[in-house]
Amino acid sequence: MVWLAAASTGIVDVGDERLRVVWTSAGVAYVDEERLGIKPRIEKRLKMQLIEKAVPSIIKRGLARALKRPGEDDLPIDLTWARDFERDVLLAARDIPWGETRPYSWLARAARRPLAVRAAASVIARDPLWYLVPWHRVVHKDGSVARGGAFSKLREALLARERRSRS
């Protein structure tokens, strides 16, 4: 494997979750639940060699804020590993306000590729920053969320929580 760069990684407990975090000098590049065999998958996805370190307190605090209000944190994110369209989609999703939703077609337009609706949906489905990029705010054009699977239940729960806190 040819590494494009090196990045730091560590485990942090946020609420009831144990997270694997990857960061560079530019920001957080990856966040996911810690599980067996995740490091090699992250290295392959990001094309970065991971170096185990203690997670800085600023990242711990930012992740704790993100748990309370997903997508409303002030942590910088590092998308140097992403292709242009992927980066544009993730940044557009990050701009969706708390408690609001946008359809996949909006996301594709915001990423400057209005005909790439399915591609935008694929980027959101594979989002390695799901903890910091509010993927759950992207829905079908009729406002419905995809049915089935654990993520649809999580999406509905996150959206319900945001709607309650807005009223």
- Domains of the chain, by residue range, sit at 5-68, 84-166
Supply the pTM of this predicted model.
0.85
Helices 84-94 and 117-125 cross at an angle (nearest 10°) of 80
Each residue of 104-141: pLDDT tens digit?
A: 999 999 999 999 999 999 999 888 998 888 888 998 88
Each residue of 32-88: pLDDT tens digit?
A: 889 999 999 999 999 999 999 999 999 999 998 887 776 566 789 999 999 999 999
Give φ, ψ of 128 to 5 degrees: -80, 0
Single-letter residue type at 48? M
The highest-level CATH class for domain 84-166 is: mainly alpha
Cβ 3 vs Cβ 48: under 8 Å: yes
